[in-house]
């Protein structure tokens, strides 16, 4: 199993450009999430999905879009990049016996994004 994969590893964008961060998992996990990590702020949830076709907002959703058309993939779209979106982005996945418990998330290696 490759686990959770993210591409690209590094990206530099100019203000106003758009791009998609890719995330895929091969563990047949229901749950997938996107976080951003900024110095001194830990990881903050951007969007998450509880299954194909179902997404919800996290703590910092503005400026980002997601969709989940398959169980495996959960891309994060930046519509018009801003310097405030310079960060390290982590994708994560997990499983759950519905409503019965909460299990650990498996994280991808991260994407370091710089917006100039």
Partner 1 sequence: AQKVTQAQTEISVVEKEDVTLDCVYETRDTTYYLFWYKQPPSGELVFLIRRNSFDEQNEISGRYSWNFQKSTSSFNFTITASQVVDSAVYFCALSEWGNTGKLIFGQGTTLQVKP
The footprint of partner 1 (CB under 8 A) covers 30-33, 35, 40-45, 48-50, 56, 58-59, 88, 90, 92, 94-96, 98-107, 109-110
Question: Which two three-digit tokens encode residue 91?
Answer: 């994708």
70: helix, strand or coil: coil
Rg (C-alpha) for the chain, rounded Å, is 14
> Of the two residues 3 and 16, which places its CB atom closer to partner 1 in the complex?
3
Q: How far is the CB of 84 from partner 1 (least distance, A)?
A: 18
> Of the two residues 26 and 38, which places its CB atom closer to partner 1 in the complex?
38
Q: How far is the CB of 63 from partner 1 (least distance, A)?
A: 19
> Of the two residues 18 and 104, which places its CB atom closer to partner 1 in the complex?
104
Q: How far is the CB of 110 from partner 1 (least distance, A)?
A: 6
Tokens 């310079």 sit on residue: 86
33 and 48 Cβ atoms separated by less than 8 Å = yes
With CA atoms as reference, report the closest residue to 63 among 97, 9, 113. 113
Q: How far is the CB of 77 from partner 1 (least distance, A)?
A: 18
Question: Which two three-digit tokens encode residue 64?
Answer: 């980002």
83: helix, strand or coil: helix
> Of the two residues 2 and 101, which places its CB atom closer to partner 1 in the complex?
101
């Amino acid at each position: 199993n490759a686990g959770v994969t993210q591409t690209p590893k590094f990206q530099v964008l100019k203000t106003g450009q758009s791009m998609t961060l890719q995330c895929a998992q091969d563990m047949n996990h229901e749950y997938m999430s996107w976080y951003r990590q900024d110095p001194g702020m830990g990881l903050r949830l951007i969007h998450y999905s509880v299954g194909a076709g179902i997404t919800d907002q996290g703590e910092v959703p503005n400026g980002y879009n997601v969709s989940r058309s398959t169980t495996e993939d959960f891309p994060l779209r930046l519509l018009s990049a801003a310097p405030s979106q310079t960060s390290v982005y982590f994708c994560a996945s997990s499983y759950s016996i519905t409503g019965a418990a909460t299990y650990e998330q498996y994280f991808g290696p991260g994407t370091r994004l710089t917006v100039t």
